[in-house]
Structure 1
Amino acid sequence: MRSLVVICIYMSALMLVAACSPESATLKVERPLVQPEVQIPQYEKPIIKPAEWITEDGGQSQLDFNPQVDILFVTDNSDSMKSAQENLVRNIDKFTAGVLKNRMIDYHVGVISVWDSSDRYIQMKKDQYQIGDLRFIKNSQGQSASNRRFVAKSDNNSKLIASTLNIGVTPYAQGGPEFEELFSPLAAAIEKTGRGATNEGFFRQDAQLVVVLLTDADDSSKSINPEEMAQKLIDFKGGRAEKVSVYGVLVRPQDSDDYKDWDLRIHPKYHPECFDMTSQKNPKNNGKCTGFGPDRLEKFIVAANQNEGTPDQIRAKHIMSIVSPKFGDDLAKIGSDITVKTLAKEIFLSQRPRTDKNGQLMVRVRYGKQVIPQKAKGGWLYNPENNSIELSGDIDYEYVEGARFSVDLAPLTLKQQQ
C-alpha cells in the first residue's frame, strides 16, 4: 500500500513539472546524434598574382647600340702582287656589302704594307711610309685625297675604300720587298696609336679588330713568332679574344709556283734542301719537295681565332685562296662573317627574370619599337650564367637613328631567387 502511494506522488510531481514548462507538454525523445565524417578541404596552390614588369634601361650605356669595327688590311706590295691587288679592288664591294649596308655599323678601314728589314730595302725604299704606317686615303684617280689615313663611316663611299686599298706594287729592282714581313709591321701599327702618333684615331677601344692578310708569300719576321703575334693583338684589345678576328687571302701549298712569291717556290736560292747542290751553276731538283705554303701565317690565323673551333674549322672559315675562281664569293663570306661578329651584343641584366606557368621566360627585348624574337638565329637567347641577353649578329634590324635597346622583364622576388 505504501509503495502505491509513493508511485502516485512521483507521477503527480512529474505531471506538475511538465505543465509548468514553456515547451510543448508532449515529451520528445531525440535520437542520438550521428557525427558525419569530417571532410578536409583540398585547396589548389596559391595563384600567384601577375608579376610586376620592369624595363631595363635606366640610361645604361650598354643599351646604346653603336657597333664599331676597325678593319686593317696588311697588303703585300711586292712585284708579284699586282694581279692579286687588282682582283681585290674589283671585288671589294662584295667584301664591304654587309658592313656598309647595315647603317648601325661604325667602321674604319685602313691599310699598311708588308716590310723588309734587310739593309737593301731600308736603303732603297722611296716612299714616305715607315713600318706600320697607315697609308693615306686615295681618290678614284689614285691620288692622296687628304691627310687622313683611313676611310670612316662618315665618308659613306665604297669607291674610296677600293682606291685606298689599291696601294700598288714596287718591283724588286726599284727597292721592293724581297723577304715579306707581315707580323713586324702589324705589331708596329698597333703601337702607333697614341696622341700625335701616325695611326692616331684608327683603333678604338670597344671596336671589333679585324685583320686581313693579303699576300702570296709567308711571313719572314724574325722578331716575333705566330703565337706571339696573336697574343699581342688579344692583349691590345684588353685580353678580350672575342674582339679579335684575323683572315687570310693566301696561296696554298698545292697552288702552282707561278702564283707564289719566290720564297714559296721550289727554288734553290730559297729552298736549297729541294736540290742537289753539287753543281752550284746547275742544281738539280731532287724530287723531295712538292710545294710550300704560308705556314707561319696559317699558325697565326689559327692562334688568333682559337675560340672558333678546331684548327681545320678555323682554316676553312678564315682563309681563302688568292687564286680562287670564286674570289668574289669567298671575299663576300669573309665580309658577312665580319658583319655578324660586329653586330653581336650582350646585355647584362640587373635582376633575374622569372618564368610563367608554362615555363616561358618572361622577357621581351626591343630595339626602338622593333620586338626582337627569342631564338638562336636572328634573335636573342638568355644566358643564365651571366644573367644576360645575348643578341646574335644576324638580326634584321629596322634601323632608327638614335634607337636603343630595352629589355622588359618580370623579375624574381627575393624569396623566389633563394
Structure 2
Amino acid sequence: MKQLIALCIYASALMLVAACSPESSGIMAQQPEVAPPTVEIPQYEHVEEQKFTWITEDGGQSQLDFNPQVDILFVTDNSESMKSAQENLLRNLDRFTNGINKNAMIDYHIGVISTWDSSDRFARTKKDSYQIGELRYIKDSKSQSYNKRYVTKKEKSILSATLNIGVAPYAQGGPEDEEFFAPLTAALEKSGRGGTNEGFFRPDAQLVVVFMTDADEFKNSRISTEQMARTLLDFKGGKAKKLAVYGVLVKAKDADENKDWALRIHPKYNPQCFDMNLKTPKNNGTCTGFGPEKLEELIVLANEEKGSPESIKSKYIVGIVNKNFGDDLARIGSDITKKTLAKEIFLSQRPRVDGNGVLQVRVRYGTAAELNAGRGQIIPNKVAGGWAYDPENNSVRLGGDVEYKYQENARFAVDLIPLTLAQ
C-alpha cells in the first residue's frame, strides 16, 4: 500500500513539471532567442621590427694600437766550466734566433750580461772592462764590436754572434763563485736616463729573463730568491703578465762532469758528502747530486701565476746538456713570441647577443685608412688563432697565435652592437 502511494506522488510530480515547461503549449508563450554579446577587439598601433646599429670603438684609444714589444735579457755564465755547455749552446742557438726573427710582428730588444763574482780575486784579475750588470756590446761573427749594447730587428743577422760571449778561465780572472741575482739587479738599476743600459728596457714591453748556466746562484748571496722575484715584478709595475723568467740549466740528475764545481759531489764545495777526517776525504755515499735550486726557485716565484711549481719547471726550464737542446730553445722562442703577441682590449660598452646566441662583436686588423673604410683583416672569434670574449672584464682577448697579415703601423678596430643602443 505504501509503495502504491509513493508511485502516485512521483507521477503527479512529473505531470506538474511538464505542464510548467516552456515547451508546453497553451500554458506559456515560446521565448525569443537571445543573441550572444558582441566582443570588441582592441586596435594597437603597428610596431616596427627593432633594428640595432653597429658602432666602432673609439679609434683614438691607444689600447687599439698594436706594437708588440719584448725585451729579452740573457744572463749568461761565462765561467770556465761552461766551455762545453757554450759549445752546445752555439750549435743550437740558431733555433732560438730563427724562431724570434721569423715573426715580423715582434719588436724586440735582445741583450746579454755575464755572471759576476764579488770576491777580491775577481775584482783584481778580471780581464774585460765590463762592470756589474752592464750589457755587452753587440758584435758580428768576426767578433767586431759595434757601439750599441742590444740587438733589434735591424741587427738580427748578428744576434747569434752577440749571444756568444765565450768563457773566462779562472786563471785569467774568470768567475768562481757565480752570482746571477746581483748583476741582474744592477742591470735594472742601470737602465735609467744616462745609465749604461739606457734604452734597453721599455715600460710597455714584455720583460723576459733567460738564465744560461751550469751552476747555481752563489750560496752566500746577499740577495734572496724572494727579493729577486719581487725586484723583477716591481720593475714591471707589478704586472705579472709582463714578466717571464726562463732557465737553460743543468739538472740534479746530470753527470758531475757537466756541472759547475759547486754543484758536484766534491769535498771542497760539498764536504757533507765526505768523511773529512781522513787524509784523503772519502765519499760517504749520502749525496746523489746537486742542481740549481736557487735559480729553479726564482723561476717558480717569478712565474707563479702561470701554474703549479712542477708545471712551471717543465715549461720554463730546459736542460743545457739535453740532446734536444735546440728543440727546447726553439720552444722558448715560440713561447716568448706568443706571450708578446697576446693582447686584451677592454670595451667601453657591453655587446648584444642576437636571437641565435651570437655575440655581436667583430675584430679587424689593418692600417688606419683600411679600418676607417670598414675594411681590414677579420680576426676570427675562436680560442685557437683568434679572439675570445671575457664577460667578467668586458674585454676581447687576442691569442698570441693569430696569423696576422703584417703591416707597418697597423692597429685594431672593434665593431659591436651595444646592449643599450637600438633604433
TM bucket (normalised to shorter chain) is 0.7 to 0.9
Residue 36 (structure 1) shift: 4.8
Counting aligned pairs with the same residue, the percent is: 65
Partners of 1:224 and 1:414 in 2: CA distance: 56
Name 2:6's counterpart in structure 1.
none
Partners of 1:385 and 1:31 in 2: CA distance: 69
Residue 39 (structure 1) shift: 6.9
Q: Which amino acid aligns with 1:137?
A: I
1:131 aligns to 2:138 (yes or no): no
Name 1:25's counterpart in structure 2.
none
SS in 1 for 2:388: strand
Name 1:27's counterpart in structure 2.
none
Name 1:151's counterpart in structure 2.
151
Q: Which amino acid aligns with 2:37?
A: Q
- Does the CA contact (< 8 Å) of 1:68 and 1:208 recur in 2? yes
- Does the CA contact (< 8 Å) of 1:192 and 1:199 recur in 2? yes
| Cα shift readout 1:210-268 (whole Å, capped 9, x = no counterpart) | 00000000001622111211111010000101111000010011100000000000000
Partners of 1:379 and 1:57 in 2: CA distance: 21
Name 1:55's counterpart in structure 2.
56
Give the total of aligned pairs. 382
Mapping for residues 362-373 of structure 1, pairs under 5 Å: 362-368=360-366, 369-373=376-380
Partners of 1:292 and 1:284 in 2: CA distance: 18
Residue 406 (structure 1) shift: 0.4
SS in 1 for 2:174: coil
Q: CA 1:355/1:128 → structure 2, altered by over 3 Å: closer, same or farther?
A: same
SS in 2 for 1:377: coil
SS in 2 for 1:390: strand
SS in 1 for 2:297: helix
| Cα shift readout 1:82-111 (whole Å, capped 9, x = no counterpart) | 222232222222112332112111000100
Partners of 1:115 and 1:295 in 2: CA distance: 18
Name 2:415's counterpart in structure 1.
408
Cα RMSD (Å): 2.1
Name 1:99's counterpart in structure 2.
100
Q: Which amino acid aligns with 1:60?
A: Q
Deviates more, 1:370-379 or 1:282-291: 370-379
Name 2:241's counterpart in structure 1.
242
Name 2:27's counterpart in structure 1.
none
Residue 365 (structure 1) shift: 0.4
Partners of 2:395 and 2:246 in 1: CA distance: 29
Residue 41 (structure 1) shift: 9.3
Mapping for residues 199-218 of structure 1, pairs under 5 Å: 199-218=197-216
1:388 aligns to 2:390 (yes or no): no
Partners of 1:37 and 1:400 in 2: CA distance: 70
- Does the CA contact (< 8 Å) of 2:89 and 2:320 recur in 1? no
Partners of 2:43 and 2:116 in 1: CA distance: 87
Partners of 1:413 and 1:154 in 2: CA distance: 48
Residue 33 (structure 1) shift: 3.2
Partners of 2:267 and 2:85 in 1: CA distance: 25
Name 1:348's counterpart in structure 2.
346
- Does the CA contact (< 8 Å) of 2:88 and 2:321 recur in 1? no
Residue 355 (structure 1) shift: 0.7
SS in 2 for 1:151: coil
Match of 1:34 among 25, 33, 36: 36
- Does the CA contact (< 8 Å) of 1:57 and 1:405 recur in 2? no
Q: Which amino acid aligns with 1:335?
A: G
Partners of 1:363 and 1:50 in 2: CA distance: 16
Structure 2 residue runs of 5 or longer lacking an equivalent are 1-31, 367-375
Residue 349 (structure 1) shift: 1.1
TM-score w.r.t. structure 1 length?
0.88
- Does the CA contact (< 8 Å) of 1:218 and 1:264 recur in 2? yes
- Does the CA contact (< 8 Å) of 1:353 and 1:361 recur in 2? yes
Name 1:223's counterpart in structure 2.
222
Q: Which amino acid aligns with 1:255?
A: D
- Does the CA contact (< 8 Å) of 1:86 and 1:166 recur in 2? no
TM-score w.r.t. structure 2 length?
0.87
- Does the CA contact (< 8 Å) of 1:378 and 1:395 recur in 2? yes
- Does the CA contact (< 8 Å) of 1:184 and 1:224 recur in 2? yes
SS in 2 for 1:298: helix
Mapping for residues 164-183 of structure 1, pairs under 5 Å: 164-183=162-181
Q: Which amino acid aligns with 1:194?
A: G
Deviates more, 1:87-96 or 1:215-224: 87-96
Q: Which amino acid aligns with 1:138?
A: K
SS in 2 for 1:402: coil
Q: CA 1:134/1:352 → structure 2, altered by over 3 Å: closer, same or farther?
A: same
Name 1:321's counterpart in structure 2.
319
Partners of 2:407 and 2:286 in 1: CA distance: 62
Partners of 1:41 and 1:258 in 2: CA distance: 95
Partners of 1:48 and 1:345 in 2: CA distance: 37
SS in 1 for 2:246: strand
- Does the CA contact (< 8 Å) of 2:52 and 2:417 recur in 1? yes
SS in 2 for 1:110: strand
- Does the CA contact (< 8 Å) of 2:247 and 2:318 recur in 1? yes
Name 1:26's counterpart in structure 2.
none
| Cα shift readout 1:32-55 (whole Å, capped 9, x = no counterpart) | 4322567789999x7752211101
Name 1:21's counterpart in structure 2.
none
Name 1:303's counterpart in structure 2.
301
Partners of 1:324 and 1:300 in 2: CA distance: 22
Partners of 1:42 and 1:273 in 2: CA distance: 95
Structure 1 residue runs of 5 or longer lacking an equivalent are 1-29
| Cα shift readout 1:121-179 (whole Å, capped 9, x = no counterpart) | 111111100100000011111121x1100001232x23x11111110101111111101
Q: CA 1:90/1:186 → structure 2, altered by over 3 Å: closer, same or farther?
A: same
Match of 2:191 among 172, 193, 201: 193
